[in-house]
Amino acid sequence: MSLLVVGLSHRSAPVSVLERASLNPDAQGKLLQDTVAAEPAAEAAVLATCNRIELYADVDKFHAGVAELSTLLAQHSGVGLEELTPYLYVHYEDRAVHHLFSVACGLDSMVVGEGQILGQIKDSLARAQDLHSAGRLLNDLFQQALRVGKRAHSETGIDRAGQSLVTFGLEQLAAGGDVETWARGKKALVIGAGSMSSLAAATLARAGVAEVVVANRTIDRAERLAQILTEGDDTDVLARAVPMESVPAELTRADIAVSCTGATGLVLTAESVAAAVEGRTGQPAAEIEDDRRTESRQDALPPTSVGNDDNCPLDLAAVQPGFSVMGEAAVAGMDAATLEQHAAWVAGGTVDRREGARSGPEADAELIGALAATAATVGRIPERRRPQPVDEPQRPEPVLFLLDLAMPRDIDAAVHRLAGVRLVDIESLAEASAGAPMAADVDQVRRIVSDEVAAFGAALRAAHITPTVVALRTMAADVVASEIARLDGRLPGLDDKHRAEITQTVRRVVDKLLHAPTVRVKQLAAEPGGAGYADALRTLFDLDPETVAAVSRAEDSTTQKDRGPA
């Protein structure tokens, strides 16, 4: 097995990078085609969700594969390779299998335990099959991942550990309150008619909203979703479809708006949201200035001034307001050599301080010298900037609740500053989920994942030797046929009954001689490090490599004909 995955997710990259690196369906298809066309990769599949972009491939060289897959991700995402590389993670062979199985079980999701990822994995497999980029390895891998995910949800209580991203987002909009109580009687606007938007519409309908309006660029899909909601047995919601051009007008009527489209630009700008709020209330949606927090922080900390800025190794323009350019906060992250230079600069400077503070540049130089000695031992001084907390400015109660589940974002982040609006997006969901408690069932799911990874690896290794065993038995059958032909030449008068008995006897002897070795070699090949047994078998019996390869191609062709999406 030479399975390789290169990707980035909410765990490795900030949302701003994920947003820029997101791939629409067309870009995903082009990435798959370019990956299988590249030299190191024989198969490829892309798993792209709102919080991850991962490229899976069967490669023949590890280092060349990592370089090629990383380059392809950078090219198709539009984020430069140098900028993207620090956020990429790489998994290989069993670790790659473990990663995908963990993803399928919801262990790597932003909301631990959510089951929506299974549908996204299924879609990824279907896309790779449609483009013929998934071969035997990735078909088996992704279908097994789906089975493992379903097993985790059916055999454990992982569902109690998390919900779908939609449910979690609605809980954040409800500010921790009961979603059904908060949503009851409200009017909702759902922008988009894909899987995430459909889930949001259904969740809102079950929560008790009075109306769901679905807006989509393809009106037929919006009408189909509205019809499904209207005919649902578990809700009595009023649902209707509108074209995208109606979104500004519908936004003035809506209490809740959920957006998840494949648009590359903003669907709702700050100006359009402000206009909607003004249309509802008759009052402009004034911005809450972020500068107040900065001003409060500056008032809360003692001022510091420097007599001479010349030769200072610190970028004074980049220093956050309220921090001493002489103190530990300013030198956080510096290496030893820079710290020593900074200490020398401090020793020659002058500082104005409040009464009662320790005075004199010598004290600062002594402190920074000690920090330099520490840095020389441990490498760097860790970041320790901690501004004093200040009171947040009072916000009015929201009249419009916005949930943005798209990547890249559909709703302008500047909406966060509008009074009367509460916006929850992928970035705020990531922050909220960081401290979410994990259920005890997670440990059980991890054990399931470990067992399934071991079983998958053993099956894959055993399957790897099967073509060699088949080629060996084919060679043995050819030897039997050849010897029986020689016997016919030596004993031309042999009757059919005796000839058949001799043929059967020779075949039984060959089968018995090969039975124990072939069974044992399959067992050994299934163990870790067992890949070499196939090579040993080919060498011992002088098997033709082309015969083995032909068996493998025949098996792959048969498997492809019988295989479909799980």
User: Which residue ranges make up the annotated binding site for substrate?
Assistant: 49-52, 109, 114-116, 120
Report the alpha-carbon distance of residue 250 to residue 203 in Å, rounded. Answer: 20
Is residue 50 part of the annotated active site? The answer reads: yes
Residue 298 has which token pair? 């500056």
Q: Would you call 23 exposed, middle or buried from its count of C-beta atoms within 10 A (0-12, 13-18, 19+)?
A: buried
C-alpha to C-alpha distances, 150 to 45, 111, 115, nearest whole angstrom: 20, 17, 9
Binding residues for NADP(+): 192-197
Contacts for 241-244 with beta carbons within 8 Å, 24 or more apart? 241/213, 241/214, 241/215, 241/216, 242/213, 242/214, 242/215, 243/215, 243/216, 243/217, 243/219, 244/191, 244/215, 244/216, 244/217
* Distances from the Cα of 507 to the Cα of 487, 512, 514, 538, 559, angstroms: 14, 9, 11, 21, 29
Q: Are strands 238-243 and 89-92 parallel, antiparallel or unpaired?
A: unpaired
Is there a contact between 222 and 242 (Cβ–Cβ < 8 Å)? yes
**Which positions ≥6 away from 17 have C-beta within 8 Å?**
8, 79, 83, 84, 87
| Angle between the N-to-C axes of helices 94-104 and 441-490, in degrees from 0 to 180, rounded to the nearest 10 | 130
354 touches 300 (CB < 8 A): no
The CA-based dihedral angle spanning residues 398, 399, 405, 410, taken in that order and rounded to the nearest 10 degrees: -110
224 token code pair: 């189909």
CB atoms within 10 A of CB 477: 13
Q: What is the 3-state secondary structure (H, E, C) of 73-130?
A: HHHHHCCCHHHHHHHCEEEECHHHHHHHHHHHCCCCCCCCCCCHHHHHHHHHHHHHHH
Kindly name the residue from 50, 105, 260, 312 that is annotated as catalytic.
50
Q: How far apart are the C-alpha atoms of 142 and 563, rounded to whole Å?
A: 12
Using CA atoms, how far residue 302 sits from 388, 389, 439, 474, 478, in Å, is: 11, 15, 45, 86, 92
CA nearest 261: which of 220, 213, 219, 217? 217
Query: What are phi and psi for residue 449, nearest 5 degrees?
Result: -60, -45
Annotated binding-site residues read 49-52, 109, 114-116, 120, 192-197
Angle, CA of 61, 540 and 467, to the nearest 5°: 55
Name the CA dihedral angle for 112, 446, 57, 88, rounded to a multiple of 10 degrees. 50
Taking the C-alpha atoms of residue 554 and residue 473, their distance in angstroms, rounded to an integer, is: 16
Q: Which two tokens stand for residue 249?
A: 């007008």
Alpha helices (runs of H) in 327-401, residue ranges in sequence order: 328-331, 336-347, 361-378
- Collapsed DSSP state (helix, strand, coil) of residue 10: coil
Q: 3-state class of 193 per DSSP?
A: coil
Secondary structure element (H or E) that encloses residue 211, with its range:
strand 211-216
Beta bridge partners of 7: 54, 89
Report the distance separating Cα 239 and Cα 210, nearest Å.
9
Residues annotated catalytic, as ranges: 50
